[in-house]
Structure 1
Amino acid sequence: MATIDHLGISVDDVPRASAQLDPVFSALGYTRAYNAPDHAYWRQPGQPELLLYPAREPGPHVHGRIGWQHLAFAVDSRDEVDQLHQVALDAGWTAVREPKEYPRFTERYYASFVEDDNGIRIEVMHNPAGWDGS
């Protein structure tokens, strides 16, 4: 069975993006393991590494074009969704969707969506029953 080992993210300016991403990734339990002008990455035991690379072309990424749509992080409570949403805003991210329920997914699905300066969008979600509502 294959698993995801790491996720590479291209950004305009690695140090600036690293500074903006670090508070969010840290709040999600990741530790910044490397930080340089041309590369940075975070680790969390049992999870894929998150890596930053300099973009070959200027950005930002535009949501809805071919490529990255968003990355969703599952957390243990609605309070964590709210807290991580605020951590992201405090780090300069933009709220795409404030924390709220998404009954079209399941009756218990609660999430927020934020986007950084590079157009990288993440979702922080809590769905205690799992995706299928069971």
Structure 2
Amino acid sequence: MPVFDHLGITVDDLARGIARFDPIMQALGFERSDADDSVSWWREGDVELILRPAREPGSGPHVHGRVGWQHLAFAVDSRDEVERLHAVALAAGWTAVRDPKIYERFNSRYYASFVEDDDGIRLEFMHNPPRDATA
């Protein structure tokens, strides 16, 4: 059983949040479920992601680096997949924080990109393959 069951994210405008998250979550193979005051994406065996509107509209955006949310990283199977998801996010209105590249400070295999929306929600798409057994 996974330790994490679901992750809830508050957005200022639910319709805008759906428009930004849905292309990414669909590209990752998640199914969408709509409710009256929220939307969620789920995939068998994975953590469910839920968006809800802010109880206090206009109370954002979150500022990266302050106490609270930092970012959510999606692990993917290849560098090409990092680049594809980065492009999907940009097309959905996310802003590039860091374009896809290797992050040597983590290790020489860590390839990632970072995007952020106008609510201050930051996502990472990352590929970190295991070390080659022969190395």
TM-score, structure 1 as length reference: 0.91
Q: How many residues align?
A: 130
Q: Deviations over 1:47-97 (max 9, x none)?
A: 111001111232111111111100101000000000000000000000000
Q: Which residue does the alignment assign to 2:108?
A: 107
Q: Separation in 2 of the partners of 1:2 and 1:105?
A: 25
Quote the offset at 1:107 in angstroms.
Answer: 1.1
For residues 45 and 120 of structure 1, the distance between their equivalents in structure 2, rounded to whole angstroms, comes to: 24
Spell out the pairing of 1:85-96 with structure 2 (5 A cutoff). 85-96=86-97
Structure 1 segments unaligned to the other structure (5+ residues) = none
Counterpart of 1:84 in structure 2 is: 85
Given that 1:20 and 1:91 are in contact with CA atoms closer than 8 Å, whether structure 2 keeps it comes out as yes
Partner of 1:119 in structure 2?
Answer: 120
Distance, in Å, in 2 between the alignment partners of 1:40 and 1:26 is: 13
Q: State the AA in 1 paired with 2:61.
A: P
Q: Displacement, 1:16?
A: 1.2
In structure 2, stretches of 5+ residues that fail to align are none
Task: Return the offset for 1:45.
Answer: 0.8
For 1:33 and 1:54, how far apart are their aligned partners in 2?
A: 15
Aligned residue type for 2:6: H
Aligned to 1:46: 45
Distance in 1 between residues matched to 2:72 and 2:2, nearest whole Å:
19
Map 1:1-134 onto structure 2 (within 5 A): 3-36=3-36, 38-57=37-56, 58-129=59-130
Counterpart of 2:41 in structure 1: which amino acid? W
Indicate the larger mover: 15-24 or 85-94.
Answer: 15-24
Identity, % of aligned pairs? 65
Q: Is the 8 A contact 1:18 1:35 kept in 2?
A: no
What is the identity, as a one-letter code, of the residue corresponding to 1:75?
A: V
RMSD of Structure 2 on Structure 1 (CA): 1.6
